[in-house]
Chain A
């Protein structure tokens, strides 16, 4: 009994310890971002591995999520004779929710885990300590460009996801199910607001990009420097990012769309 309570306390303290270390780490990364102005090449390389390599999975998932939304929306809406609102349903659910959230989850699986594994392996093979030996700050040289690249790539990926999804919904709704293409677009344009919907979606994806990349680089930097430690850190990245993104999504949604106009 005592042992159980002790381990619970140890676990709780560990959680707060890791949270505090994560925040200190974030501050150091943010301070290290200034150095990148002189070496933008570092960001471009990371943008390639974080953004460009995630492009295809985002494109394909966006297309299919849009197609599913078109199909499901049509089935439900046609029951009320409101098929012409299909464009509104597809666009609002993509821009407000599914675009940022699904992109962040895919981003954690595709790019976040790779970042963690890369930094964790650098630590395990003592490349990071090697850099320190040469008076190169690994946070400035390794972590900061990856963090910034993730932060830049995530909103762009979310925008691509939403845009492709709208066309996927159009393909199913207008092309296969026979919704009028004029009412698909015009109802969408009449309802979706640039400020309330699209800008808030972009803000969401910025926040998710920040959190997802932060968790990924921190877990990698904080990993136990063994092969097992790296594998556990990679798992933690995906799990923690998913939890953080879904939790934050609720808070952000409540703040942005909580009080109807």
Chain B
């Protein structure tokens, strides 16, 4: 093979490699997922977050509008404090929006579902969501059920 052909083939090979990296970045990873930069943060307190993880989706009517950015235990409130990043386009959420932790499917990942309220004021950066519903813990439900069955 002459030099020109080798150069062309090597160029094609390198291009294919970078194309594969590009496919991995764009098609396989979460790069083209919702970008929440420039959005605003809201905080919610939960009795029990179950298996919620940082990076879990925040949805409204099933549409992802943000991500969980941090989770820690607040020792003053005796509750878990969950911070969420909401996309900048979703700045019309009423102040009395409620947040619940649900599970995708029976064994899927947990996510936060927001339910808009009726207030005329909107949530702003740094606000706290007051109405929350904790995650359903399967063991708790089974325990309650067993207790009820045995007391009868």
Contact = CB atoms under 8 A, between A and B. Distances in A.
A and B interact physically: yes
Interface of A: 41, 44-45, 47-48, 51-52, 55, 80-82, 91, 95, 152-153, 155-157, 159-160, 162-164, 166, 185, 188-194, 197-198, 202, 261
B29 interface: yes
B30 interface: yes
A57 to B, nearest CB: 13
Contact of A48 (B6, B27, B108): B6
A91 B25 CA distance: 12
B29 A160 contact: no
Given A198-B24, A261-B55, A55 B29 contact: no
Contacts of A152: 14
A236 B44 CA distance: 59
B17 A156 contact: yes
A24 B105 CA distance: 57
Nearest to A47: B10
Contact of B20 (A51, A160, A197): A160
A198 B25 contact: yes
Contacts of A202: 21
A194 B20 contact: no
Give the secondary structure class of B's interface: helix
Closest A-B pairs by Cβ, 9 of them? A156-B17, A163-B20, A159-B20, A194-B29, A160-B20, A159-B21, A163-B23, A52-B13, A192-B29
B106 interface: yes
B10 A189 contact: no
Contacts of B27: 166, 185, 189
Nearest to A92: B28
Contacts of B7: 44
Contacts of B137: none
B9 A52 contact: yes
A190 B17 contact: no
Nearest to A163: B20
Counting chain A CB atoms within 10 Å of each CB, the highest count among B21, B31, B106 belongs to B21
Contacts of A44: 6-7, 10
A193 B107 contact: no
Contact of A81 (B19, B24, B54, B106): B106
Contacts of B77: none
Contacts of A156: 13-14, 16-18, 20-21
A82 B105 CA distance: 9
A10 to B, nearest CB: 44
B33 interface: yes
B66 interface: no
Interface string B94-117: 000000000001111000000000
A111 to B, nearest CB: 13
B74 to A, nearest CB: 20
Contacts of B13: 47-48, 51-52, 55, 153, 156
27 contacts: A44-B7, A45-B6, A47-B10, A48-B9, A48-B10, A51-B10, A52-B12, A52-B13, A82-B108, A153-B13, A153-B17, A155-B17, A156-B14, A156-B16, A156-B21, A159-B17, A159-B18, A159-B20, A160-B17, A160-B20, A166-B27, A189-B33, A194-B29, A194-B31, A197-B29, A198-B29, A261-B55
